[in-house]
Amino acid sequence: MASIFTQIIQGKLPCYKIHEDELTFSFLALDQVNLGHTLVIPKREINSWLEVPAEIYTQIHLNSQKIGQAIQAATQCPRVGQIVAGFEVPHYHLHLIPAWSIPDLNFSRAKRHSDEEMKKVQKAIQDQLKLV
């Protein structure tokens, strides 16, 4: 069975999409550690970052740097943390989390936000991404 992320890529499940290209897809995490928390994933279902082919891994990280800059500008945070945990979904995903301090990267802080808040931060990040 396809992972939840593959279903999102295929349009079978909704998401707040941030960016898409031939190899990667990015969208806001459903449970936001901090508002603007974005996932960058390969379109190909790959279980672990240790298994990601170099071309896809490179594209994920090139995109994550641009998206991270957009998140930083949109949220006015001093840092955007990167975390690869890999336990929640068996599909490699890189977390980009706006942060003001180390405790801001704690997943126990994750919570759902209103559709209005999610759309607002999605638009702010996408608008900034056009400038990067």
**pLDDT, position 87:** 82
Q: Are 111 and 34 in contact (CB under 8 A)?
A: no
Helix (H) or strand (E) holding 79: strand 79-83
Beta bridge partners of 97: 81
pTM: 0.95
- In 3D space, the residue among 54, 33, 43, 7 whose CA is nearest the CA of residue 112 turns out to be 33
Scored b (16 or more CB within 10 A) or e, 51-65 reads: ebeeebbebbeebbe
Query: Hey, what are 72's tokens?
Result: 């930083």
**pLDDT, position 20:** 97
Order the strands of the 79-83 sheet from edge to edge.
Answer: 17-20, 24-28, 38-42, 94-99, 79-83
Q: What is the pLDDT along the chain (132 residues), one digit of tens a residue?
A: 788 999 999 999 999 999 999 999 999 999 999 999 999 999 999 999 999 999 999 999 999 999 999 999 999 999 999 999 878 888 999 999 999 999 999 999 999 999 999 999 999 999 999 998
The structural domains of the chain, ordered by start, are 4-129 (3.30.428.10)
Q: Are 95 and 51 in contact (CB under 8 A)?
A: no
Q: Are 14 and 6 in contact (CB under 8 A)?
A: no
